[in-house]
Amino acid sequence: MSKRVLTTESGAPVADNQNSASAGVGGPLLLQDQHLLEKLARFNRERIPERVVHARGSGAYGHFEVTDDVTGYTHADFLDTVGKRTEVFLRFSTVADSLGGADAVRDPRGFAVKFYTREGNYDLVGNNTPVFFIKDPIKFPDFIHSQKRDPFTGRQEPDNVWDFWAHAPEATHQVTWLMGDRGIPASYRHMNGYGSHTYQWTNAEGEAFFVKYHFKTDQGIRCLTSEQAAEQAGQDPTSHQTDLLQAIERGVHPSWTLYVQIMPAAEAADYRFNPFDLTKVWPHRDYPLRRVGRLVLNRNPDNVFAEVEQAAFSPNNFVPGIGPSPDKMLQGRLFAYADAHRYRLGVNHTLLAVNAPRATTAQNYGRDGFMAVNGQGRHAKNYEPNSYDGPVETGRPLSAPLAVTGWTGTHEAPQHTKDDDFVQAGELYRLMSAEEKSRLIANIAGGLSQVSRNDVIEKNLAHFHAADPEYGRRVEEAVRALRED
């Protein structure tokens, strides 16, 4: 059987892929060596700007199957029938480190799911924690700057990390999650995923509900201690990627059961705390978990760059029956995520295979730009309305409208009766066992004790004291002991 012929990108056969063309034996190379120049030029351009956050990622394909009837709450097509399956792509990631960072680090994990539905792609972009550090997107660039490498020292600085948290009391809840036992998952398969934000569901009658998503791992929760993580990161920086790849290759298909909490829209205004505050959870006793379906991953990508690095998720990719809420952080992400991908991948990134709809066809008037596809729109008109049978609007909104009122300007979030930055952090602490509390204290003190300024340490200690007196006392004592050594 004859071998396939190696060609240049223009299709011409390559005579020699081992030796560059030169002016005589041992002479200088020739500018006319098209194959050499093409290889070097392409090599220089093989990488694209990495994500500012969530740069280090892994992913896999699979399906989502509806197991329970939720048509009373949403008319989303992919959720309308028990037993219906929808193809999905799920990308896991760390948040703060660069593309070359290790997987086994103390950091939140991204949990982004793309549902290839018959009514378009639905992107659910969340984390492995149900809360986050801040509640307003205007603080997000500052927060990430404080967590990433310092512009002078070129490394992550405890002074920066804890100084930001000292000025962000709302971060106390997420810091308690991050420094606790679930702060370093043992693998992507052994952690939960959360939509984190509050979203809106709308049923066929137009009734609106606010929801929170919970993907519970069917493999069980497994986590690493700081010492185990340091050893694992040194032995195999790509440990989580390796685990996911090998599990699927040997037929062990990880799965998660999806539950939602559902709040009738009319209850939001008078709830005891702001239900759209990303730093808070909804207690299950108020809004119990309702099972929706099961997500299974069963196929690895063929090319990590093409399918994981170029996968583009945007919380603004909704489908009929699902929409946004007044969650300020969600509102900011509706713009920021899609804009990041237009910068990294180009305006036509939605035409890439991993990002394009699969159960339907995108029909719009977008044309041209970098990486425009031959035949995109063909000879059809590129404006609307037109008289040439182009695609038209439906007049049916994807979700129910959100009521707005008041004066324009910058406003703090409306105060509910029980709004507080520390109550839920204290509740989380008190739920922990004695051993879990000890490990939490050690993790916090290990970082906070490295801060050089006493005033920054005192501000952070005040947050833990406010969350729970014992919590604050133990952190303070542990920090003092480490600084006296």
Which are the catalytic amino acids?
Answer: 54, 127
**DSSP bridge pairs for 123:** 114
Cβ atoms 176, 427 nearer than 8 A:
no
Give the integer Cα–Cα distance in Å for 357 and 444: 44
Largest Cα–Cα distance in the chain?
85
Cβ atoms 81, 74 nearer than 8 A:
no
394, burial (CB in 10 Å: exposed 0-12, middle 13-18, buried 19+): exposed
Quick one: CA torsion of 163, 166, 171, 176, rounded to 10 degrees?
Answer: 90
Report the DSSP pairing between strands 208-217 and 193-194. antiparallel
Among 198, 160, 81, 192, smallest CA distance to 447 is for: 160
Give the integer Cα–Cα distance in Å for 198 and 297: 25
Among 221, 225, 282, 295, smallest CA distance to 253 is for: 295
Radius of gyration for the chain, computed over Cα atoms and rounded to the nearest angstrom: 25
Measured CA to CA in angstroms, residue 423 lies from 93, 227, 230, 336 at distances of 29, 30, 32, 30
